Amino acid sequence: MSEEVVRPRIRGFISLTAHPDGCAANVRKQVEVARAMAGEGAGGDGLRHVLVVGSSTGYGLASALCATFGYGAETLGVCLERPSEDDKVASAGWYNLAEAHRLAADEGRALHTINGDAFSHEVKQQVVDLLRARGAQLDLVVYSLASPVRQDPDSETTWRSVLKPIGEAYTGKSIDLRRGQVVDAHIDPADADEIASTVRVMGGEDWRLWIKALRDGGVLAEGARTVAFSYIGPEVSHAIYRHGTIGRAKEDLEASAAGLRAELSAGGGGAWVSINKAVVTQASAAIPGVPLYMSMLFDVMKAEGTHEGPIEQIARLYRDHLAPGVAPSTDEEGRIRLDDLEMRDEVQSEVSRRWAEVTTESLDDLTDFAGYQRYFEQLFGFSVDGIDYDAPTEIHRTLA
Ligand code: NAD
């Protein structure tokens, strides 16, 4: 037992602390949405066992919560989070899962977590062993890893992903998150090694290795489906995102979906990439220009009542594309499009107009930067309504 007053220590797109009660409250809110939005078939016997790789924050957490609380599936998650130690708080993802486990245990639902390096052979084997021991066959595998590094499981090599343009240097608007100022970011183009490393970390290779390990281990159900997440986004972000190193990795992920789809369709299942909306997560906050874009996008989408966070997106993914008996609808390239509302012409033309105009002086008028910052603080359990931040709280929480 160790009670502490936990204060925010946010540095740009990094938070050094996380508040256990704030994270718990966020999870409870997401669970409510997951339950409310679950469509027909929820609780039926179609979605029995689900694996989520990257289950502790962002899109992966939302996927685990929808599976467990929306569809009554037995869910196994894999993540890389830091538990508390002595007087040091745990990471936000750890506190998120502590609350999800507590709620699941209270309601007699099955949620399990393996906290370890998803890129390693050992963690893949642990997952297979656990599923076998439980006699579980997976209906759905959600691959939602976002990582800056990947240790090659077969050598000493460490690959690092970089967020850089390809071919030419990029100069474009961005927010200096520490000072709240609109600045010009300048990023030199990636070299060939950086491009290849980013594809190794964020491309489809590890997703394919997961599906192979699960198939070889005999823990994929007949008709199993798998989904991974990608992003396209607006023209203004293309140089750094879609046409940059991360975009190259996403092309590889999307090509992997086509290969996996062919393999899994034999049993009536399949593999898809879902193109999701821009949402505030640890991963997206680190991409130059994206926080500025999101600050504008959210302002526009909130005004027209179409704004969604990760849980609304994923609840829609399950309800409209992955629920038992539902066939995913896709674009002509075979991708699920959850970014349909973000990419509407009306939304994008308004964002482009504001993008061209925005300066530090007009930041508050043309964007919801304050709202963006609040979302970012909330990722770590701060600025959450109803939490007494002056009260000491238990920092040691377990994944019961
Ligand atoms: P996130 O940072 O919130 O979550 C990343 C997850 O990966 C966490 O659960 C973390 O614990 C886990 N993880 C990282 N390294 C790991 C490792 N080595 N072993 C085990 N677990 C590890 O990220 P996110 O934004 O939810 O991104 C998830 C996916 O969604 C990514 O593919 C991302 O490109 C995609 N996506 C994100 C957005 C967005 O705006 N955030 C939009 C579209 C698509």
Q: pLDDT category, 400, cuts 50, 70, 90?
A: confident
- For 251-306, the DSSP string reads HHHHHHHHHHHHHHHTTT-EEEEEEPPP---HHHHTSTTHHHHHHHHHHHHHHTT-
Residue nearest atom 14 in ligand 1 by C-alpha distance? 147
pLDDT in tens, 345-383: 999 999 999 999 999 999 999 999 999 999 999 999 999
Q: pLDDT category, 42, cuts 50, 70, 90?
A: low
pLDDT in tens, 306-355: 999 999 999 999 999 999 889 999 999 999 999 999 999 999 999 999 99
Task: Locate 159 and state its tokens.
Answer: 């690959």
4: which residues sit within 8 A by CB, 6+ positions away?
87, 89, 392, 393, 395
Q: pLDDT category, 44, cuts 50, 70, 90?
A: low
By percentage, how much of the chain surpasses pLDDT 90?
92
Termini Cα distance of the chain? 15
**How many CB atoms neighbour CB 188 within 10 A?**
10
Residue 161 Cα to ligand 1 middle (Å): 13
Separation between Cα atoms, residue 29 and residue 31, nearest integer Å? 5
Quote the pLDDT of residue 41. 57
At 87 the three-state DSSP class reads coil
Q: Following CA atoms 277, 282, 287, 289 in sequence, which dihedral angle do they give, to the nearest 10 degrees?
A: 70
Separation between Cα atoms, residue 311 and residue 384, nearest integer Å? 17
Separation between Cα atoms, residue 77 and residue 65, nearest integer Å? 10
Mean pLDDT, rounded, of the chain = 95
Quote the pLDDT of residue 40. 59
Distances (CA, A) of 70 to 36, 41, 144, 218, 375: 8, 10, 18, 26, 24
Mean of pLDDT values over 222-234 = 96
Ligand 1 pocket test: which of 65, 127, 147 has the largest number of ligand atoms within 8 Å of its C-beta?
A: 147
**Contact (Cβ atoms closer than 8 angstroms) between residue 19 and residue 3:** no
E strand or H helix at 221: strand 220-230
135: which residues sit within 8 A by CB, 6+ positions away?
none
CA atoms within 13 A on the CB side of 242: 9
Residue 54 Cα to ligand 1 middle (Å): 6
Separation between Cα atoms, residue 141 and residue 106, nearest integer Å? 25
Mean of pLDDT values over 119-148 = 97
Mean of pLDDT values over 288-317 = 96
At 109 the three-state DSSP class reads coil
Ligand 1 surroundings by CB, under 6 angstroms: 54-60, 78-81, 93, 117-119, 144-147, 229-231, 276, 278-279, 281-284
- Sign of CA pseudo-dihedral 137, 142, 143, 147: negative
Ligand 1 pocket test: which of 51, 57, 307 has the largest number of ligand atoms within 8 Å of its C-beta?
A: 57
Residue 181 Cα to ligand 1 middle (Å): 27
Separation between Cα atoms, residue 261 and residue 335, nearest integer Å? 11
Closest Cα to residue 61, out of 183, 144, 168, 151?
Answer: 144
Q: pLDDT category, 236, cuts 50, 70, 90?
A: confident
Task: Say yes or no to pLDDT of 200 above 70.
Answer: yes
266: which residues sit within 8 A by CB, 6+ positions away?
none
**Contact (Cβ atoms closer than 8 angstroms) between residue 275 and residue 241:** no
pTM of the model: 0.97
340: which residues sit within 8 A by CB, 6+ positions away?
none
Quote the pLDDT of residue 1. 77
**Contact (Cβ atoms closer than 8 angstroms) between residue 75 and residue 111:** yes
Quote the pLDDT of residue 46. 65
Mean of pLDDT values over 23-31 = 98
Ligand 1 pocket test: which of 26, 145, 275, 316 has the largest number of ligand atoms within 8 Å of its C-beta?
A: 145
Residue nearest atom 34 in ligand 1 by C-alpha distance? 230
pLDDT in tens, 268-290: 899 999 999 999 999 898 898 99
DSSP 8-state symbol, 189: P
pLDDT in tens, 80-109: 999 999 999 999 999 999 999 999 999 999
Mean of pLDDT values over 236-254 = 95
Residue nearest atom 31 in ligand 1 by C-alpha distance? 146
Residue 143 Cα to ligand 1 middle (Å): 9
Task: Locate 309 and state its tokens.
Answer: 């966070």
Residue 343 Cα to ligand 1 middle (Å): 21
Distances (CA, A) of 257 to 144, 261, 274, 313, 330: 14, 6, 10, 20, 13
